[in-house]
């Protein structure tokens, strides 16, 4: 019997105008794992993530998530995919407080639950990402970049996603903060047992964060394996050269 995968993309194809961005991507992930997608800028990493999230529709190919066809032969919209998404800059609403930003992540449930229940849940989410609840009153510009990314994570965790998609969430942070924030985020996701995909162009980050690395190049997956296998036995010369840049 073939092993059941939590996420499986089959022959995923996507073009924008005359530009072929994804040229047949087959990616399979086990539940609970952490996968890093690495590859040069423009290789299609973000596009792949956006297709999985449901922000874009593939031209052809399928995506199965948690035993459901979500794109291809069926279409499940983004908000029904039980997915959390954190972008590079966190994309917090600047005019809302930290607490309001996190509450936004609760979605329609926010309107139904009472004010007290919401406040409790927001405090719980801020606590999950190790932020003091009094930080809830502040605006995004009044907190550090690392704290903003934790708020973005708290917002993405609000609806208890089964899959977390992280699109270069640490790249705008300076080196020290990047390592600390990365560790904090990894700990939260690990504790919550949430399957995670991290897109990064930083090979070192991929190594320390993920238990599976997928190397993208020119719209296809060049190689998938454990960090050790990919880094010690790159599939071809281009992959070896790309990975070599990190060292």
Is 203 a residue that touches ligand ADP (CB under 6 A)?
no
Which of 45, 155 has the CB closer to ligand ADP? 45
* CA 132/CA 80 separation, integer angstroms: 30
Which of 37, 154 has the CB closer to ligand ADP? 37
Which of 46, 223 has the CB closer to ligand ADP? 46
For the chain, the C-alpha Rg in angstroms (whole number) is 18
Which of 66, 220 has the CB closer to ligand ADP? 220
**DSSP conformational letter for 5:** P
Q: How far is the CB of 45 from ligand ADP (least distance, A)?
A: 4
Phi-psi region of 105 (alpha: psi -120 to 50; beta: other; left: phi over 0): alpha
* CA 128/CA 169 separation, integer angstroms: 18
Stretch that binds ligand ADP, among 37-45, 68-76, 135-143, 179-187 (CB under 6 A): 37-45
Task: Tell me the three state secondary structure of residue 3.
Answer: coil
Q: Per the structure block, which two tokens stand in for 77? A: 């919209």
Is 204 a residue that touches ligand ADP (CB under 6 A)?
no
Is 46 a residue that touches ligand ADP (CB under 6 A)?
yes
Interface positions, 115-144, toward ligand ADP (CB under 6 A): none
Given 7, 9, 12, 21, the residue binding ligand ADP (CB under 6 A): 21
H or E segment at 165? Answer: strand 163-167
Is 57 a residue that touches ligand ADP (CB under 6 A)?
no
Q: Per the structure block, which two tokens stand in for 177? A: 């903060």
Task: Tell me the three state secondary structure of residue 64.
Answer: strand
**Parallel, antiparallel, or unpaired for β 68-71 and 34-38?**
unpaired
H or E segment at 235? Answer: none
Is 217 a residue that touches ligand ADP (CB under 6 A)?
no
Given 3, 18, 41, 67, the residue binding ligand ADP (CB under 6 A): 41
Chain residues that interact with ligand ADP, rule: CB under 6 A: 16, 19, 21, 39, 41-47
């Amino acid at each position: 019997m073939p092993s059941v995968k939590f996420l499986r993309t089959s022959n995923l194809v996507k073009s924008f105008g005359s530009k072929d961005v994804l040229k047949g991507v087959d990616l399979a992930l086990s539940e609970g794992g952490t996968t890093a997608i690495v590859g040069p800028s423009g290789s299609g990493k973000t596009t792949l993530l956006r297709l999985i999230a449901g922000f874009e529709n593939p031209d052809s190919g399928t995506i199965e998530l948690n035993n459901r066809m979500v794109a291809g032969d069926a279409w499940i919209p983004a908000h029904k995919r039980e997915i959390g998404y954190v972008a590079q800059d966190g994309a917090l609403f600047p005019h809302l407080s930290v607490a309001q930003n996190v509450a936004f992540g609760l979605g329609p449930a926010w309107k139904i639950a009472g004010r007290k229940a919401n406040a409790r849940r927001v405090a719980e989410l801020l606590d999950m990402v190790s932020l003091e609840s009094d930080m809830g009153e502040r605006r995004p510009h009044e907190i550090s970049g690392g704290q903003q990314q934790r708020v973005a994570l708290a917002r993405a965790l609000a609806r208890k996603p089964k899959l977390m998609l992280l699109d270069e969430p640490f790249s705008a942070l300076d080196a020290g903060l990047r390592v600390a924030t990365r560790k904090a985020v990894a700990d939260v996701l690990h504790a919550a047992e949430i399957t995670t995909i991290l897109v990064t162009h930083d090979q070192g980050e991929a190594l320390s964060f993920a238990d599976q690395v997928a190397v993208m190049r020119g719209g296809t997956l060049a190689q998938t394996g454990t960090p050790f296998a990919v880094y010690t036995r790159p599939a071809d010369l281009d992959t070896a050269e790309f990975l070599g840049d990190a060292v």
